[in-house]
Chains A and B, each alone.
Chain A
Amino acid sequence: MRKLSIFAVFLLALVIPSLAQQNNDVKVWPVRDNIYLIYGAGGDITVQVGKDGLLVVDAGLANMSDKVLAAIKTISPLPIRYLVNTHFHPDHVGGNAAIRQAGATIAGGNVTGDLGAAASQGAQVIAHENVLNRVSAPTGKQSALPTNGWPTSTFFNDEKKMYFNGEGIEIIHFANAHTDGDSIVYFRKSDVIATGDLFTTIMYPVIDTAAGGTINGTIEALDKIVDMMIPVYGQDGGTLVVPGHGRICDVGDVLNFREMTIIVRDRIQDLIKKGMTLEQVKAAKPTFDYDPLYGNNSFWGTDKFVEAVYTTLKKK
């Protein structure tokens, strides 16, 4: 748990400066059709809206919940029915309790039983089981999230499918990528994927080794995401992506990010084969050409990325 807490502090350090630059404004931006991006509340938040209500992917930071809920209200006054967590980090699940509480589960008839109206209180929170494992704790221990922010509907296999607001939605789990509990959310009709932190535009791939993250798992996840995307032409348009952090993207952006990730992995693998220590690998600057793009992030800079890649490749 201590390692997780350190990671959480780093995550806060990541998002707070960027929020300050935006005067703490949370922005709403249309992605496509009935899909919206909420930006500036920690991790990127994706909202799907339709006649049945809202499905929200990730919840942002806890202290941004009021602003997130206000932003969601500008999209639709309908109730939030589902909240999906892409992973357990606090910039993505911090607002779970508030968003859940503001929502309402679809329930009625036999389903409610003796619970009555209480059965519909709060939105369903969907996540891979490993997210629940990471945010909860045994009785008497301090959990990473308060109980009312824990996932209420978990899955332990590779995929969960649902149909909501007239479109099929796939929640696809990747083991040992960014963490051990990552999921992406694919809106099949809208052709939009919310990737969580498996893909960002502002920093190197974040590999939380303490929580089961690995470089090769990250590459496998990126390969799968690329496989799912169909551009209109070449690398342009078609399937859109809402990353864990950063701007709206298409397949070209994901390909560029995957290209960098694989090249750096190959370079570090080669240096390991040559018998280099971590310090020697760092001194060889295997990310030098990509540092102007990804290396300046105060939370997850070059050193941390190289260390995570080295560590997980050495473990093989």
Chain B
Amino acid sequence: MHVRSKWLGAMLAAVMAFPAAAQMNITGVWNNKLHEDWPDRLPGPELGDYAGIPLNDANRLRAKTWDASLITLPEYQCRVHPSDYASSFADIRIWQDIDAPTQQVTAIHVHHFAWETERTIWMDGRPHPPEYAQHTTMGFSTGKFDGDKLMVTTTHLKEGWIRRNGVARSDRAVVTEYFIRHGNELTWAALIHDPTYLTDTFIRSRDYQFAVAGQIPPYPCESVVEIVRPRGTIPHHLPGTNTFLKEYQDAHGIPEEAAMGGAMTMMPQYRARVSELIKNAKK
């Protein structure tokens, strides 16, 4: 009996030491597949296109008064994409830290080619910092495996954007992400909860392909003065004066109501409403 107990103990210790059976290895270099939402990604969204975003009235006004010339200011030129938007661009490298004695994953790191940003997803059960701690563009992330999916919760984000045409995401947002590996494919889905500027959760998903010999090059960025302006100048449109907002609607035949977004424009059934609006406009 004594020998059997020792064996049982050893087996139990061995089982305990293994990572959760369903835990998925997502490390490596992953190439971004740009087939989805192409116009919104590398070319960039058009001005006045807020369709599919559950933004509230305050956020809509921010977007309508936003001026793309803002990013000509030197201090805005190298502004990096926040972690909840970074998935839209370029390739990523994922690696992990292992605690040697237990062989448990203690942290997962993601490096984004775009702007060389890096984030850490803590897997060691640590709590999120208090409200008065610093916010960053990557935020503070903790993760755990939910079956074979890595579920990540991110807080402490600096203000960012939902779409880079002026639609804001506040610094109070909480983002839930899922990293799901299907063989050599990886899906990265972000659910953005921002009661300050969104009336509903905004969901964005991106797909990646495993790159066996993948490498991530550097991404240097240097700011320069492009336009000499007086101090204290921020390019923006006064409310009601932005003449560019109609261009997207006119170019694509999109009704204004749909272009201005809102939770209803996320729903599949909204297609019928768009058809109705177009029909009415032709009358």
| Chain A residues engaging chain B, CB cutoff 8 angstroms | 27, 29, 37, 39, 44, 201, 216, 219-220, 223, 226, 233-237, 240, 246-253, 255-256, 258-259, 262-263, 266-267, 270, 286, 288-293
Contacts and interface: CB of A to CB of B under 8 A. Distances in A.
Interface of B: 56-59, 61-62, 65, 70, 75-76, 78-80, 115-117, 130-137, 158-159, 170-171, 196-197, 221, 231-234, 236, 238-239
27 contacts: A29-B132, A29-B133, A44-B132, A233-B116, A233-B221, A234-B80, A234-B137, A236-B136, A236-B137, A247-B132, A247-B134, A248-B132, A248-B134, A250-B136, A252-B137, A253-B159, A255-B75, A259-B70, A263-B234, A267-B238, A288-B61, A289-B62, A289-B65, A291-B58, A292-B197, A293-B170, A293-B196
B80 A235 contact: yes
Contact of B133 (A220, A226, A247, A259): A247
A282 B137 CA distance: 34
A246 B134 contact: no
Given A29-B132, A262-B234, A267-B239, A252 B58 contact: no
A249 B137 contact: no
Contacts of B117: 233, 236
Given A29-B130, A29-B132, A291-B58, A256 B159 contact: yes
Contact of A226 (B75, B80, B196): B75
Contact of A250 (B133, B134, B196, B238): B134
A87 B59 CA distance: 34
B234 to A, nearest CB: 4
B158 A292 contact: no
A286 B233 CA distance: 18
A223 B132 contact: no
A223 B15 CA distance: 59
B233 A262 contact: yes
A306 B225 CA distance: 32
A246 B196 contact: no
A288 B58 contact: yes
Contacts of B170: 292-293
B58 A266 contact: no
Contacts of A234: 78-80, 115, 137, 221
Contacts of B171: 201, 253
Contact of A246 (B56, B115, B132, B234): B132
Contacts of B76: 235, 255
Nearest to A201: B171
Nearest to B138: A236
A256 to B, nearest CB: 5
**Which 3 interchain pairs have the tightest Cβ spacing?**
A289-B61, A234-B78, A248-B134
A262 B70 CA distance: 13
A269 B136 CA distance: 33
Nearest to B241: A270
Contacts of A286: 239
B132 A39 contact: yes
B135 A266 contact: no
Contacts of B135: 247, 249, 253
B232 A262 contact: yes
A259 B234 contact: yes
A160 to B, nearest CB: 24
Contact of A247 (B56, B75, B80, B131): B131
A232 to B, nearest CB: 10
A234 B158 CA distance: 13
